[in-house]
Amino acid sequence: MAQTTSQIPELREVSLARPIQPPEKHIQVDRDIDAWKKTAGYKDYCLWVVRLNASVLGLDIPTIAATEKSEAVLKVVQFLEELKGWVDEIPPYGDRQRFGNLAFRDWGKRLQQRAPQLLHDLLPQRFHPAIPLISPYLLSSFGDFMRLDYGSGHELSFALFLMALTLVRFFEPVPEEERHLVVTVFGKYLEVAWHLQDVYRLEPAGSHGVWGLDDYHFLGFLWGSAQLRGNNLPPSSILKPPLSTTNLYNLQVTRIYQLKIGPFFEHSAQLHAIATGVPNWDKVNSGMLKMYEAEVLNKRVVVQHLPLGGLLVWD
């Protein structure tokens, strides 16, 4: 049986009253993963993911969108919309290489230059001590500006950015807020990330994207499968497009249909195996939680670039 948010511990609160050292890279070799899994930061993040998962159980996007949004949620959505607008001001160069338009470096340079002021404007003054602690996650949330690629590690950076803002209580760890973090904030982030991927033709990071789900993302599938728990349509329904775009899972799969040609079982073998081999959305969702931990959080090639410590305690 799925846990409701009320059955899951609350995310701890971190005080900004005392100085906190900024995060730095800790993961260099495979054995560092074992140390990472024992840290308070790792446990905080896993708890946060599970809480957000529980907050959207059985709830579609229109249902959540119709509920009241906090000022913090609205401000971050506006912030993301501003970043998306930069793409129109920084058009791609006219080169024809398959992956990686160099204009993405210009977009990234603007983000690096403006991030301190953007965060200063986004956050009320009492949260300003958190800016050097969260900036590294924001700056790595949209792709690698040198390699011109994007993968699940960049998506993880944005999730850590949101989680850190919850630790300091810019966002409140209550179901009403958490479900908007999934649908409203993360949904807008996906819109921005997809736009960057399309316009600047970002290459999938790693040898096979996000370890077999799609080329770039994971969390939309995870939280989207939570939205589908209790749904009468079986997981195999995704093999019969067009799909209803009322949950993140279907939005992710719809994008695959838009971008890829050929049989689904060939270009999306893992998703096809889930659709044909898993009997219901409860099992899909519980499997996704395990897969995310094993194939994203516990993979050195994904997390080795993350700055850890700071708000994500490395102890």
Q: Give the pLDDT score at 95.
A: 72
Whether residue 307 has a cis bond before it, omega within 30° of 0: no
End-to-end Cα spacing for the chain: 33
Q: Stretch 12-29: mean pLDDT, rounded? A: 96
Confidence of residue 207 (pLDDT cuts 50, 70, 90): low
283 pLDDT more than 80: yes
What is the separation of C-alpha 232 from the centre of its chain, rounded to a whole number of angstroms?
Answer: 27
Question: In this structure, what token pair is assigned to residue 52?
Answer: 């957000």
206 pLDDT more than 90: no
Q: Give the pLDDT score at 241.
A: 97
Q: Please return the burial class of 144, using the count of CB atoms within 10 Å of its CB with bins 0-12, 13-18 and 19+.
A: buried
- Which regions of the chain does DSSP assign to beta strands (E)? 24-25, 149-150, 203-204, 307-308
- Quickly list DSSP for 212-242: TS-SS-SHHHHHHHHHTTT-SS-GGGGGSSS
Amino acid at 306: L
pLDDT averaged over every residue in the chain: 95
Q: Give the pLDDT score at 99.
A: 85
Q: Is the pTM of this model over 0.75?
A: yes
Whole-angstrom distance, CA of residue 38 vs CA of residue 33? 9
- Is residue 222 within 8 A of residue 289, CB to CB? The reply is yes
Q: Give the pLDDT score at 212.
A: 55
Count of Cβ atoms closer than 10 Å to residue 198 Cβ: 14
